[in-house]
Amino acid sequence: MDGADSANASEQGVAIVSEAICEEIIGRPEAFTAVENVFAAMARDNAYNFPVVREAIGHADALYGFKSGFDRAGMVLGVKSGGYWPGNVDKNLTNHQSTVILFDPDTGQLKALVGGNYLTAVRTAAASAVSIAHLARKDAKVLGMVGAGHQSTFQLRAAVEQRDFEKVIAWNPHPEYLPRLAAVCEELGLPFEAVDREQLGAEADVIITITSAFEPLLMKDWIKPGTHIACMGTDTAGKQEVDPQLLAAASVFTDEVAQSVSIGEAQHAIASGLISDSDITSVGEVINGTHPGRRNEQEITLFDGTGVGLQDLAVASAAAELAQQKGLAKQISL
The stretch among 22-30, 66-74, 188-196, 210-218 that binds ligand NAD (CB under 6 A) is 210-218
Three-state DSSP at 7 gives helix
The only residue of 28, 72, 141, 150 in contact with ligand NAD, by rule CB under 6 A:
150
Nearer to ligand NAD, 126 or 329 (CB): 126
Q: Does 284 bind ligand NAD (CB under 6 A)?
A: no
Residues 6+ apart with CB under 8 A from 211: 146, 147, 149, 172, 173, 217, 233, 241
233 binds ligand NAD (CB under 6 A): yes
Q: Which stretch binds ligand NAD (CB under 6 A): 27-35, 39-47, 285-293, 299-307?
A: 299-307
Identify which range of 36-44, 45-53, 185-193, 208-216 contacts ligand NAD by CB under 6 A: 208-216
Contacts with ligand NAD in 2-31 (CB under 6 A)?
none
CA dist list (Å): 201 to 74, 221, 252, 307 = 39, 9, 18, 24
Residue 178 DSSP symbol: T
CA distance 112 to 61: 29
Q: To 5 degrees, how large is the angle CA 144–CA 150–CA 156?
A: 30
Considering only 82, 284, 307, 309, the residue that binds ligand NAD (CB under 6 A) is 307
Minimum separation from the CB atom of position 308 to ligand NAD (A): 8
Q: Is 259 in the site for ligand NAD (CB under 6 A)?
A: no
Q: Binding ligand NAD by CB under 6 A: which of 97, 251, 259, 306?
A: 306
**Is there a catalytic annotation at residue 80?**
yes
DSSP state of 205: S
Does the footprint of ligand NAD cover residue 232 (CB under 6 A)? yes
Written as one string, the DSSP assignment of 215-268 is EEEE-GGGSPTT-EEEE-S--STT-EEE-HHHHHHSEEEES-HHHHHHTSTHHH
Residue 174 touching ligand NAD (CB under 6 A): yes
**Three-class DSSP labels, 50-115:** CCCEEEECCCCCCEEEEEEEEECCCCEEEEEEEEECHHHHHHCCCCEEEEEEEECCCCCCEEEEEE
Q: Which of 211, 251, 282, 301 binds ligand NAD (CB under 6 A)?
A: 211
Stretch that binds ligand NAD, among 3-11, 108-116, 181-189, 227-235 (CB under 6 A): 227-235
Site track 99-128 with ligand NAD (rule: CB under 6 A), x = hit: ---------------------x---x----
Catalytic residues: 80
Q: Enumerate binding residues for ligand NAD (CB under 6 A).
A: 120, 124, 147-152, 172-174, 177, 210-214, 232-233, 235, 305-307
